Every structure is written in C-alpha cells, then in structure tokens.
Amino acid sequence: MSDIAVAEKQWFGHPRGLATCFFTEMWERFSYYGMRALLLLYMVAPIEKGGLGFATEKGASIYGWYTMGVYAMSIPGGWIADKFLGLYRSVLLGGIIIATGHFLMAYPSIQTFYLGLIFIVCGTGLLKPNVSGIVGTLYSKEDVRRDAGFSIFYMGINLGAFIAPLICGPLGQRINWHYGFGAAGVGMTLGIIQYVAGKKHIAPGMARQAKNEADEREAERAEGKPSSFTTQEWKRISVIAILFVFSMLFWGAFEQAGSSLNLFADRLTRLNFLGFNFPSSTFQSVQPLFVIIFSPIFAWLWLRMGKLEPSSPAKFGFGLFFVGLSFLLLVPGAAIAQSQGIKVSPMWLVGVYFLQTVGELCLSPVGLSMVTKLAPPRIVGLMLGVFFLSISFGNKLGGYCAGFFDRLPLPKLFGAVSATTLAAAFILFLLVKPIRRLMGGVH
C-alpha cells in the first residue's frame, strides 16, 4: 500500500476518492439508464400520447445509432483527456454536457430532442472512460485492493442503473415524458456537485499518476522506444481481434434490454405483480438489481473453483452461451403472447434478465481486464478504445435487431438472436485451446 493511500481518508477500507468516483458514475449511469428506459418508448408512442409517433423501425434505428455513439465517443473522450484536458476536467465537462443534453430533452420539441441526444453522446464519451481512469489512479500498481475497488465501482454503475428506471420511468410514462428526461438531468447535476465537492479526495492519485507517466516517458526517451511488435505481441493482438467479434455479438444481444425487450415489456407483458401495477420501464431495473445481488456470489464462486476456474476465453464463451439461452427462453414466451393475443407473465422477462446477468458476470469483468493484460503496454489505451468500439458496434447491432420487432414474428426474431449467440458460443468453446496458445501464458 502506498504512503499516499495510508495517509488518505478511507471509505470501506478504500481510498476516499473511490466514493467520489462511485457517486459520480452512479449519477451518470442514473441519467443514462433513466433516459434510456424511456427513449424508444417515447419515440414510438403516438403523438396524442405525447410521444414522437415514429415507426418502430425508425425509433430502433435512432436508438441503435445513439447507443453506438455513446460508447464510440469513449475513444476521442479518452484521447482528449490524455492530450488536452486531463482526467478531472474531462469528467467535469462531460458531466455538464450530459446534464445539458437531458435538460434539452426535457423541453418538448424535436430539435431539442436530437440536440439533447448529441450532447449526451459527446458528454458520455468524455465522462465514462475517464472516471474509470480516475479510479485507476487511486491505487498504486502494487495495491492489492485495486480489483476490489473496481468491483465496488461496478456496483455504483448498477446502483444508478437500478434506481433510475424506478424514478424516471413512472415520471415519464405516467405523468409526462419530459419530466422523466428532466429527472435524468437532475441526477447528473447532483453527480457533478458531489464530484466537484470531492475533488480533494481524487487529486493526490491523479498527481501521482501524472508523475509516473512523465517518468515513464522520460525512461522511454532514454532507452530509445522499440517501434515494432514481437511475434508474441502480434499473437496477443490477434486474440484481441478475435474477441472483438465475439464481444460485439454478446453486446448486440445483451443491449436489446432497452429496445426489443423494453417493447416486449410494454406491449406483450402483464404489468401487474401481486396486485401491484407498474409501468413497463420498471423491467429495466431488474438486470442491474441481479448484478448487485450476484456479483459478490460470482466473485466467491471463481475463488472457490480454484484451479477449475474457467480461463478468460472460456468465460467469454459462457457469456455468449447464457445470453443465447436468455433469448431462447423468450421464444415460447413470445409465441404464447403472439399466437394467443394475450399479455404474458412478467416472470418471462425476469427469467431472461437473470440469464443475461449470469452472462454479463462471466464476460464483462474479464473483457476489459483481458485487454489490459494482452495488449503490448505502449498501446493499452488504444486497445481499450478498440474494445469499447466492439461494445459500440454491439449496441448498433442490437438496435438493428430491434428494428425487426414489427416486421418479423417475435419467436423468429428472438430465435435468430439466440441461434447466432449460441453458435458463437459453440465456436468460441472450440477455439479456447488455440486462443490460449496465442495468449502465450496470459490467463
């Protein structure tokens, strides 16, 4: 543990700055997922119900471009922080742009709607990768609390994602869509306030990081930088390229939560549980709640498995397998709803989200950490950007699939998503051995 960490105030045994990052990201995700829970439903709602009256296909296409943009912008966002603004100011500016975007959407006009989406895309690109970057600066390289710190941070993400639909959803769907968007903006504003107030807790880590980076650059200059990659490095880069495709397929299915599955909840699911009526956007809280409940259990399970713990590429395969299974589960649910013209039990979607969470917990934590381990050190940042791009393309793919919601019988649509991801899982399981050889000792 570094001297700085010892001298700092603690938060659950972690640097106090973790709390600042936790709540910043919690509120940012609150605003993102609160708005996202309403976005497609608002676009396809009839004009007389306050919506935009778009066809499902058009709404899904905009949804796909928007969610793709949000993650694609992480690449310039990270670059701007590195070259110009630094982490602190990038996150601050990102937060302000995001809040402005939500407030623009709180105003009912088509121009402010599109402008708001563009603001959120740009702001999230600045905030999301860089707030994770700040978490990284809180721990020295040897600090054993580092992984646990990121797990706590991931809880913040999911806490925000869990609460948001419960607040923005009913406001938007029951009172006025624009109140829902406004509530998202209020959340982001609270996040910015606590971020600025907590600046002193994150400053020492960022100062240490800046010094380390300057030292490293100096050392590289003194050594004379090696400019080409070794064969082993190329092999590892090729693993990242292979995983790119599988990651894209995973997120393409997974990120339909806010599109196809949101429409399934809205149009074909009974919105009543134990006599309690709820708006369809409430389902958006189920998956993050499962993450909060199950991530400690998974962490324990991997430890418990010891040597039997699956390798990283195998975990990727399991991620795809479970997301494929989740869509397979929905095939009979969709068939019952559409053939009998009835609304089905909410338990179908709860089951779907449970399986998807199992998939996410297999794949998501491994994905980013694998890239950091496989990429040659001098291009880690670039490779992380590439990995974010796979998530971004996955989101676009998800929007593309959702565009078929009105055009294909749903069992066919969900069956196709399931077949694709299950086939990908199967292929990946076959590739585990050769991939591990290419990884050359990295686990």
> What is the binding site for ligand PHE (CB under 6 A)?
29, 71, 157, 364, 391
Which one, 61 or 390, has the nearer CB to ligand PHE? 390
3-state SS, one letter per residue, for 29-43: HHHHHHHHHHHHHHH
Radius of gyration from C-alpha coordinates of the chain? 22
Which one, 386 or 408, has the nearer CB to ligand PHE? 386
Which one, 20 or 390, has the nearer CB to ligand PHE? 390
Which one, 71 or 177, has the nearer CB to ligand PHE? 71
Which one, 93 or 157, has the nearer CB to ligand PHE? 157
Give the count of beta carbons closer than 10 Å to the beta carbon of residue 141: 8
Task: Kindly state the smallest distance separating residue 283's Cβ from ligand PHE, in Å.
Answer: 15
Task: Kindly state the smallest distance separating residue 394's Cβ from ligand PHE, in Å.
Answer: 10
| Phi and psi torsions of 287, nearest 5° | -65, -50
Task: Kindly state the smallest distance separating residue 178's Cβ from ligand PHE, in Å.
Answer: 24
Which one, 40 or 371, has the nearer CB to ligand PHE? 371
Task: Kindly state the smallest distance separating residue 163's Cβ from ligand PHE, in Å.
Answer: 14
DSSP letter string over 375-414?
Answer: S-GGGHHHHHHHHHHHHHHHHHHHHHHHTTTTTS-HHHHH
For residues 97 and 119, what is the distance between their CA atoms, to the nearest angstrom?
A: 6
Dihedral sign for Cα atoms in the order 125, 127, 128, 129: positive
Which one, 195 or 404, has the nearer CB to ligand PHE? 195
- With beta carbons less than 8 A apart as the criterion, state whether 295 and 155 touch: yes
In 105-182, DSSP assigns E strands to none
| Phi and psi torsions of 228, nearest 5° | -110, 165
For residues 299 and 284, what is the distance between their CA atoms, to the nearest angstrom?
A: 24
Q: Check residue 440 and give left, alpha or beta (phi > 0: left; psi -120 to 50: alpha).
A: left
What long-range pairs does 215-223 form, CB within 8 A, spacing at least 24? 220/378
Task: Kindly state the smallest distance separating residue 164's Cβ from ligand PHE, in Å.
Answer: 11
Task: Kindly state the smallest distance separating residue 364's Cβ from ligand PHE, in Å.
Answer: 5
Which one, 65 or 426, has the nearer CB to ligand PHE? 65
Which one, 14 or 29, has the nearer CB to ligand PHE? 29
DSSP letter string over 323-368?
Answer: HHHHHHHHHHHHHHHHHHT-PBPTHHHHHHHHHHHHHHHHHHHHHH
Task: Kindly state the smallest distance separating residue 366's Cβ from ligand PHE, in Å.
Answer: 11
Bridge partners for 11 per DSSP: 14
- Give the N- to C-terminal CA distance of the chain in Å, as an integer: 25
Q: Closest residue to ligand PHE, Cβ-based?
A: 157
Task: Kindly state the smallest distance separating residue 154's Cβ from ligand PHE, in Å.
Answer: 8
Task: Kindly state the smallest distance separating residue 208's Cβ from ligand PHE, in Å.
Answer: 26
Task: Kindly state the smallest distance separating residue 157's Cβ from ligand PHE, in Å.
Answer: 5
Task: Kindly state the smallest distance separating residue 254's Cβ from ligand PHE, in Å.
Answer: 8
- Both tokens assigned to 115: 């402008």
Residues 6+ apart with CB under 8 A from 37: 164, 165, 168, 169, 172, 180, 258, 262, 281, 284
Which one, 209 or 390, has the nearer CB to ligand PHE? 390
Task: Kindly state the smallest distance separating residue 117's Cβ from ligand PHE, in Å.
Answer: 17
Q: Which helix (H) or strand (E) holds 166?
A: helix 146-170
Residues 6+ apart with CB under 8 A from 255: 67, 394, 395, 398
Find the helix packing angle between 260-268 and 17-44, rounded to 10°.
Answer: 60
Which one, 337 or 370, has the nearer CB to ligand PHE? 370
Which one, 23 or 54, has the nearer CB to ligand PHE? 23
For residues 105 and 228, what is the distance between their CA atoms, to the nearest angstrom?
A: 48
Which residue type sits at 24?
Answer: T
Residue owning tokens 């179908």: 348
For residues 187 and 167, what is the distance between their CA atoms, to the nearest angstrom?
A: 10
